[in-house]
Amino acid sequence: MRLSGMITALLPGAYARQNPRIELEDAVVIVTGAARGIGAEAAAMFAAAGSRVWVTDVDADDAARLASTIDGARSARLDVTDRGAWGSVVDEVLTVDGRIDILVNNAGVMPTGPFAEEAAATTDLILDVNVKGVLNGMGAVLPTMVDAGRGHIVNVASMAGMLPLPGMVTYNASKFAAYGASLAARREYDGTGVTVSAVLPSAVRTELSSGADLGGVLPTVDPDDVVRAIVRTVRTRAARVSSPGWVLPGWALVDQFVPESVERVVRELVGHRQAMALDPVERATYLARLERQTLEHSQTKDQTR
């Protein structure tokens, strides 16, 4: 590449201009884990912009209930850990809408607690949903997007994909993996018209983080703050963004220049073990669904072995 071309490629917005523009109006969007939380907010926000939204979730009834409240939305049951289920959903979307413009890989689980006490079934669920779910989703939509010469994938990772937190060892591992997979896929498919962005929220005020006191470790944001960052990547095609926007560059500076000894003192001051400080009452609803999902996932894995 000539020097002038290299400089142009580094200018803000240049990457977006190198790829086919995707207008939100009439875009076909699949959102995973969309029955509640960030996913539900994303489905509503894309639909409000005129997109044709598919609300997908492992809880099919909840997905259908939400879709019925969003003008023009459709729903489908989707276990993101199941490649076959992904194939069925993609086929259905293509049959109905003819294309897939945007995938929001949002589905995720967040058990917390001491790593040495974590059950194998819990570890499997975290890695299968948070990592394999992302990989399965990208693998399912990439062929049709590449054939069309355009498409955008947003993987909802977490600042836990960069910032290690006690009490969240496996969750941290899963989000580091999702973040790395996003950057690698982005490079691999550069030039095809298909882009991949990673969105890294801090602590989000949803049921997922209920009862986990992370306020002293990470700033808290509302789901709509995260979704605005997700929607914005359709225009900017940014490789990575955080919510709030200052957290990612701020942590990068801390990680690069602040000695670990200083970090340790600060973590002690703010209560860095708060990820283990759970309120069982506040978290009861989420934990009940998580227990059910863990059992169902474990039984499915046993049947396929």
CATH classification at residue 235: 3.40.50.720
Residue 111 lies in a domain: yes
Q: Alpha helix (H) ranges present in the chain?
A: 3-10, 14-17, 37-48, 60-67, 83-97, 120-127, 133-148, 169-188, 223-236, 247-257, 260-270, 284-304
Residue 212 lies in a domain: yes
Catalytic entry in 171, 179, 189, 286: 171
What confidence tier does 112 reach under pLDDT thresholds 50, 70, 90? confident
Residue 58 lies in a domain: yes
Which are the contacts of 247, defined by CB distance < 8 A and separation ≥ 6? 159, 200, 202, 218, 219
Residue 6 lies in a domain: no
pLDDT of residue 7: 41
Distances (CA, A) of 201 to 42, 129, 220: 14, 17, 9
Residue 211 lies in a domain: yes
Residue 180 lies in a domain: yes
CA distance 56 to 30: 7
Residue 249 lies in a domain: no
User: Over the stretch 51-106, which tens digit does the pLDDT of each residue have?
Assistant: 999 999 999 999 999 999 999 999 999 999 999 999 999 999 999 999 999 999 99
Q: What residue type is assigned to position 280 of the chain? A: P
The domain tally of the chain equals 1
3-class SS of residue 230: helix
Contact 233, 197 (CB under 8 A): yes
What confidence tier does 5 reach under pLDDT thresholds 50, 70, 90? very low
Write out the residue range of the structural domain in which residue 282 sits.
15-244+259-304
Pair type for strands 240-243 and 52-57: unpaired
pTM of this prediction? 0.84
CA distance 46 to 285: 27
State yes or no: is 171 an active-site residue. yes
Contact 241, 200 (CB under 8 A): yes
Least Cα distance to 193 among 105, 87, 99, 84 occurs for 99
Kindly state the DSSP code that residue 187 receives in the 8-state scheme. H
What confidence tier does 140 reach under pLDDT thresholds 50, 70, 90? very high
